[in-house]
Structure 1
Amino acid sequence: MTTMRAVILPGNKEVQVIDKPRPVPGDGQVLVRMRASAICRSDMSLYYGGKPLVGGEAAKTGRIVPGHEPAGDVVEIGPGVRGVMPGDRVAVYLAIGCGHCRYCLSGYLSLCSEWKCVGFDVDGGNADYMVVPAQNCLKLPDEMSYETGALLLDNMGTQYHAQKTLEVSGNDTVAIYGLGPMGSAGVLIAKARGARVIAIDVLESRLEMAKELGADVTINSAKENVLEVISNLTHGEGVDKAIDASGNPSAQNMALDSVRKMGSVALIGETSSTTINPSEQMIRKLLKVYGIWIHPIWMYEEIAQFVLDHKIPVDRYITHRFSIEQAADAFRMFDERITDKAVFVWD
């Protein structure tokens, strides 16, 4: 029996790197050898244990291999596979749907009532190999690295989805709240779309990263009155668009408060509850407020082309790279916010 190395997260901040059988692709599936697999803040729900951020009963067992932002090489295909061949360089889309409902047919697999999430319900990319449905394999352009391809699946893809929905353009001033990996991706996308970007966080290291990525103005919300600064920068009007990538209730409220009348807001950061004042913050300002989640699978090719056409340096917000054997350090450092975007890589 051929084995491979894989990460599992039993909970309570325990990380194990184990030997397990290398999977065999079944009908309609392919075997992918990993080249890059990113850590996401949502993985911390598995790291801590208890209720996972997404997923069903399997995600609670602590035996599922995490990693929902993987990219690698197709090395074997199962029966019935068409359109994907050994040797293809691919990123793996994280949502697996039934394939027949209205949401799957429109490309929004994560809205399928039967959907499963790679890295939560089924084994993900933090292993030497993974098996995935062939339809989830999205081919990487020849000039795109595995690391960049992996980051298009969640960070860059979600921000592109958000900003396309908001119709961000060169006419806009955009405030981005929370400058972790998702917010950093937002800075890159917004600048590529021509917007003026105001980046807000409490950590100076993240504000410095935002400046390097092109943010026009940075605000430390622990030291400055964000709404006053934004009012001064926008002649008392407020920003045209705001994106919350933090999930912090205070930041979500600031996003609503800092947008001008008839502006728009995208909420990306996950949180269980937030108290808002709909009348003052939304209704009487005629705001458009969007919840943004996983981009539809068909949008990947559009996102990849946008990144290439605008020469967006996606890998610039990767702060650390680890081997799979360094998984314990990787998750600990990510949890302690020593790293921002961290990626497992294979030679």
Structure 2
Amino acid sequence: GGMAPYMIAEEKDLLALPDELSYVDGAQVACGFGTVYEGLEKIGISGNDAVLVTGLGPVGLAAAVLSRALGAKTIIGTDAIDERLQIAKDLGLCDHVLKAGSDNVEQIRALTGGHGVERAVDCSAHHAARKTAVQATRKWGKIVLIGEGGTMDLNPSPDMIHDQKTIYGSWVTSTWRMEELLERLVRWGVKPSDLVT
């Protein structure tokens, strides 16, 4: 097709925007969706995984959308803001949405047969949500931190070492990864603009 529209990713780099995607879709890729895709590629997401997303703002909602596109059958989302939980429910992005709180780890384990999730994505940058993401991840699981700022409070032996978990940090993405994502979005029929309120 005529890939005439372009989106600017970095100062000297232009990426062709496929005909199937709008400028709003492209804007989402250049910020939230690209950042999330980079993080999810680091931890790997498949149909084997239950995924926890802590923080359901624009980046967290993108994490839920892309986790589903990558094959996750169970997606659990947490947030402290009711309106964000409602958006995730209304758009059907999460199988379960939980109000952020001190009982989230137990709730998440209950939703996953007592085991916890295989993959967790923190998009909140909140210390309590990050702790939930780590503690609600099962043995050998992987966690990626995407939310910027904040702190983290862990007890390394029970929270990480004994269950041999891995934490990744992920920051923004590259132009080649965005180009890959644009192609995948068309393949999956995913429109990032659907998240814009």
Q: So what's the TM-score if we normalise by structure 2?
A: 0.92
Q: Which residue of 1 aligns with 2:79?
A: 201
Shift in Å, 1:272: 4.3
C-alpha separation between the residues in 2 aligned to 1:192 and 1:272?
29
Shift in Å, 1:203: 1.4
Partner of 2:131, secondary structure, is: helix
C-alpha separation between the residues in 2 aligned to 1:167 and 1:88?
33
Q: Which residue of 2 aligns with 1:255?
A: 133
Structure number with the higher helix fraction is 2
Q: Which residue of 1 aligns with 2:62?
A: 185
The answer to whether residue 94 in structure 2 is matched with residue 215 in structure 1 is: yes
C-alpha separation between the residues in 2 aligned to 1:185 and 1:191?
10
What is the identity, as a one-letter code, of the residue corresponding to 2:78? Answer: I
Aligned equivalent of 1:294, options 165, 172, 175:
172
Shift in Å, 1:177: 0.2
Q: Which residue of 2 aligns with 1:23?
A: none
Shift in Å, 1:225: 1.6
C-alpha separation between the residues in 2 aligned to 1:227 and 1:152?
31
Shift in Å, 1:307: 0.8
Shift in Å, 1:88: 4.2
Structure showing greater Rg: 1
Q: So what's the TM-score if we normalise by structure 1?
A: 0.53
Contact (CA 8 Å) 2:126, 2:151: kept in 1 or not? Answer: no
Shift in Å, 1:268: 0.4
What is the identity, as a one-letter code, of the residue corresponding to 1:219? Answer: L
Shift in Å, 1:292: 0.7
Aligned equivalent of 2:186, options 308, 312, 316:
308
Partner of 2:162, secondary structure, is: helix
What is the identity, as a one-letter code, of the residue corresponding to 2:93? Answer: G
Shift in Å, 1:273: 2.8
Give the unaligned 5+ runs of structure 2. none
Structure number with the higher strand fraction is 1
Partner of 2:167, secondary structure, is: strand
The answer to whether residue 16 in structure 2 is matched with residue 139 in structure 1 is: yes
Contact (CA 8 Å) 2:79, 2:85: kept in 1 or not? Answer: yes
Structure 1 window deviating more from structure 2 (303-312 vs 293-302): it is: 293-302
What is the identity, as a one-letter code, of the residue corresponding to 2:18? Answer: P
Q: Considering only aligned residues, what root-mean-square deviation do their CA atoms show, in Å?
A: 1.6
Structure 1 window deviating more from structure 2 (294-303 vs 182-191): it is: 294-303
What is the identity, as a one-letter code, of the residue corresponding to 1:91? Answer: M
C-alpha separation between the residues in 2 aligned to 1:142 and 1:234?
40
Shift in Å, 1:275: 2.5
Contact (CA 8 Å) 2:77, 2:97: kept in 1 or not? Answer: yes
Q: Which residue of 2 aligns with 1:89?
A: 5
Shift in Å, 1:274: 2.2
Pairs within 5 Å for 1:50-89? 88-89=4-5
C-alpha separation between the residues in 2 aligned to 1:241 and 1:151?
23
What is the identity, as a one-letter code, of the residue corresponding to 1:90? Answer: Y
Query: Aligned in 2, Cα 1:273/1:204: closer, same or farther, shift over 3 Å?
Result: closer
1:130-160 deviation digits (Å, cap 9, x = unpaired): xx32xx2111112210010111012111111
Q: In percent, how many aligned pairs have the same letter?
A: 33
